[in-house]
Amino acid sequence: MTQAPTGHRITVEPGTTHVRVLRNGVLIAESRRPLLLRETGFPVRYYLPPEDVRTELLTRSGTHSHCPFKGDADYWSLPDAPDLVWAYPEPKAQVAQIKDHFCFYETEVVED
């Protein structure tokens, strides 16, 4: 867990939630073993193992962003969805578990 002086908190824990990502009817990712990242002021984000993402459908974009708590992120796109997904290739030590896991803006929780 990371806690900044302002009360900002991040936790990462393994999950068993069944999540998937569909785009225009195409399954992009599906996992029953996401990492759940909870961060102050943000919804729960599901970080999916690369084995559960159809990376062959994605193209690395030139976009990068910086989070003072997680590190530098790289982005991937679909032809009709720029910067659809991101990952942290070298995350900060406090969130090292998310290394190379993919996170999508829109992830569907599947009720089994």
pLDDT value of residue 6 = 66
- Residue 81: φ, ψ to 5°: -145, 85
- Give all domains of the chain, ordered by start, each with its CATH number: 2-109 (2.170.150.40)
Is pLDDT at 112 greater than 90 in this prediction? Answer: no
Of the candidates 35, 44, 49, 36, which has an alpha carbon nearest to the alpha carbon of residue 101? 49
Round to whole Å and give the CA distance between 86 and 36: 15
Question: pLDDT, tens digit, for every residue of 69-108?
Answer: 999 999 999 999 999 999 999 999 999 999 999 999 888 8
Question: pLDDT, tens digit, for every residue of 2-52?
Answer: 444 468 899 999 999 999 999 999 999 999 999 999 999 999 999 999 999
Round to whole Å and give the CA distance between 46 and 50: 12
pLDDT value of residue 4 = 47
Round to whole Å and give the CA distance between 59 and 2: 31
For the segment 56-71, the average pLDDT, to the nearest whole number, is 96
